[in-house]
Amino acid sequence: MMTRRRTIMASLAAAAMTSAMAADSPQFAGKFNTEQQIKGPDCLALQWSQQPGASYGCSQAQLTQWRATLVRWRAERLNQGGYDDKRYRDPALAWTQSSFVQPQLMAHDRYFYDPVAGQYTVGRYLDDLRKRYGGIDSVLIWSIYPNIGIDNRNQLQMIEQLPGGRDAVRRMVAQFHRQGVKVLFPLMPWDTGTAEAAQPMAPALAALMRDIGADGVNGDTMTGVPEQFSIAAEQAGRPLAFEPEIAPKEDQLGFNLMSWGYFDYPYALADPAVHVSRLKWLEPRHMVHVNDRWQRNREHMLQFAFFNGTGFESWENVWGIWNGLSARDGEALRRIATIERAMAGYLTSAQWEPLAPMRQFGVLASRWPRAEGTLWSIVNRNEYNVAGEQLRVAATAGMRYFDLYHGVELAAHANPDGTDSLAFAIEGKGFGAVLALPGAPDGATVRLLAAMRAMTRLPLAAFDATWRPLAQTMRANPRTAASAAAPPGMRTVPAARFDFRVHGVEVEGINMAGVDVQFPWEDSARRFHARALDIAAFYIDTYPVTNAQYKRFIDASGYRPRDAQNYLAHWHGGSYDAAQARQPVVWVGPDDARAYAAWAGKRLPTSWEWQYAAQGGDGRAYPWGNDWNDAAVPVPDRSRAPRGPDPVDAHPAGASPFGVMDMVGNVWQWTDEFQDEHTRAALLRGGSYYQPQGSHWYFPQAQRLDTHGKMLLMAPSMDRNASTGFRCVRDAAGNGARQDATKVTTP
């Protein structure tokens, strides 16, 4: 029996030899110079320079010639690469061929984990997606970037140390499996500066994925995941589906069964073209997830996916920045994914015919023939509704036609030339699907028709297409009991009108609405913040809280966090080593820090209080002035096994104008906390001594006083880290109520 690959190759070679060739190879397009798409023929576009009397659109001969070019090119490329399709034939990996909708799930999403209950809320997360866009087939769980590099935990440890550890992660993965969802985790090849793994990455990753029951791996920034990873997974007894972020080349197609599609979306009123997915054309069983993380209108992405019979990366929580699908995009995704799931067998057809002949300008289709019938996936690239004859087919006795999108049977109109015409409506920028069957539909198709008939009672135009950022709120920071004088170990910071100017240092998101945080006086989150604030006098700890001080708190209060995972992970036997007494306490989360502050009659500083205490009133870049001073901070540690922070009093040259010490370059310091519907985050100030090398993707430093870091929060076990500590403040007497930041005025 011939393999599927041999069948494909034989049919393609025969077609190539019998067709006239327009060129030796197709024209390509795509982001990152990866040639992810094959351009459609130029005749699809309006030609303003055409001679009088010329018509618009492609003739049948032009389309046949263009497709013949593709067929010949595909046969040549697969033959040159010695293509082996064995993994596409592996039953353990067959799920990839129908995994049409896959979100990248930030593990920090509040719909996914409840830190109060200490539980993964998989059901809540999936119910939300079903409600908004019909659900998912697989999920990429992302717990690593952008927090990686805050300390030296490597990428595998940031999976293993998810709340509850491996056992809880294994149970969480099983929850997804019970609801029919496959689970992937990421691989970061650039993570070469954190703790070194005990064994090479391929077997280490394979062992971890096997242990937690994962189904696949996404290769972040990778142009193809090397075959050694597939081999390691198979040797470990659990084959994994690998999905590089960037489209692999032909010689890697056989062991990268999925990929992300960073497509170009050409559209002008004169050019309605849809490009063909290069990888999908080369191997129709390859699953591409069309992806553009910052695109607010997914209209073009969804049309390109449906035309190509590919999947969609329904990524909304982008590193804690919410870029949600509009109601229209969500409803469009629900509809096309419902059809794709039901017709998955058609969408891997080796006889796929992109740009099948259609009757209306700007209405484009792919034809997917199988032995039992033929499917057309159709998009209307026009801005207006198009009705009337859409499709003309050879008349075939007993053939029945169904408008899958609207869930109704079509009446074919016989033409004198022996063809049948099919007429139906497609709304502007909308979708269509036709199924031809040589008889009555089976039960599954009948159910699909009923579901689509109900689903499409309203046009997509009836759904709101507006994009809106999520509103954030800042956690309240209640006033302390007031002191008339500075308590021991604290410095006085006088009242002032402070010019608060600061910006976030996130690697991604440029200056889009929703990036960074939303202070109470702002109407949306944004990267750059500026406000004149009337700050009442307060007292601030001269040094960050040390291990010795924190131990006294534990002994006096009996404090034990409910979630103790990673709590004081640098201590041994319930205490610190003698050499650590004057080092700042780390491995404490914001709740642990607030518990200490409450015991001490203090609170955490707001971000502007911290900055004013460090900067004074002259806007300086560093506590000691505007020029960097190596002597004022610890020596940076760029190793993979950092030494730990310096004692808090080791660098007196780093004093601020108010005599506050150790504000920059030793350990990050907790300040304000923010949340929106999906994400919590804390502002970290001052940077740290630990600076992993090898990649710009690590958590960026913010040692200038006009910058802050934004750390995503999930659970105490994940929030605690080896490079973040804290200091406290207390309100001063005689100042009245502390200024409400929502009521301050601008200059």
Question: Is 473-520+530-731 a domain of CATH 3.40.50.300?
Answer: no
Find out whether 159 and 144 touch, Cβ atoms under 8 Å. yes
pTM of the prediction? 0.94
Residue at token pair 């191997």: 283
At residue 691, the pLDDT reads: 98
Q: What would the two tokens of residue 482 be?
A: 């007031």
**668 in helix, strand or coil?**
strand
Find out whether 459 and 429 touch, Cβ atoms under 8 Å. no
Q: What would the two tokens of residue 437 be?
A: 């069957």
Q: What would the two tokens of residue 333 be?
A: 């995704």
Specify the pairing of strand 287-290 against strand 311-313. Answer: parallel
How far apart CA 647 and CA 651 sit, in angstroms, is 8
Residue at token pair 């929060």: 713
At residue 648, the pLDDT reads: 98
Give per-10-residue mean pLDDT for the chain (747 aa): 41 38 67 79 69 67 91 90 92 98 98 97 98 98 98 98 97 98 98 96 98 98 97 98 94 96 76 87 98 95 97 98 97 98 98 95 95 97 95 96 98 96 97 97 98 98 96 96 97 98 96 96 97 98 98 98 97 97 98 98 98 97 98 98 98 98 98 98 98 97 98 97 98 66 39
Neighbours of 468 (CB within 10 A): 13
**104 in helix, strand or coil?**
strand
At residue 52, the pLDDT reads: 56
At residue 3, the pLDDT reads: 44
Supply φ then ψ for residue 356, to 5 degrees: -65, 150
The candidate with the shortest Cα–Cα distance to 151, out of 508, 716, 575, 645, is 645
Which residues have CB under 8 Å from 66's CB, separation 6+?
22, 26, 40, 41, 58, 355
How far apart CA 222 and CA 190 sit, in angstroms, is 9
Query: Could you tell me the residue ranges of all domains in the chain?
Result: 4-80, 473-520+530-731
The separation between CA 711 and the C-alpha centre of its own chain, rounded to angstroms, equals: 16
DSSP 690: B
DSSP per residue over 434-477, as a string?
EEEESS---HHHHHHHHHHHHHTSS-GGGS-----PPP-EEPP-
At residue 82, the pLDDT reads: 83
How far apart CA 136 and CA 316 sit, in angstroms, is 13
The separation between CA 247 and the C-alpha centre of its own chain, rounded to angstroms, equals: 17
SS3 content of the chain, % helix, strand, coil (to 5): 25, 25, 50
At residue 268, the pLDDT reads: 59
Find out whether 327 and 300 touch, Cβ atoms under 8 Å. no
The candidate with the shortest Cα–Cα distance to 592, out of 725, 478, 682, is 725
Residue at token pair 């016989």: 414
At residue 79, the pLDDT reads: 86
Find out whether 477 and 606 touch, Cβ atoms under 8 Å. yes
For the four alpha carbons of 626, 629, 635 and 637, in that order, the dihedral sign comes to positive
Find out whether 12 and 4 touch, Cβ atoms under 8 Å. no
DSSP per residue over 531-574, as a string?
EEEEEPPEEEESSPPBHHHHHHHHHHH----SS-TTTTTT-BTT
Residue 175 vs residues 169, 207, 212, 427, 650: alpha-carbon distances, Å: 10, 20, 12, 39, 50
Strand-pairing partners, residue 259, are 288
For the four alpha carbons of 707, 710, 711 and 713, in that order, the dihedral sign comes to positive
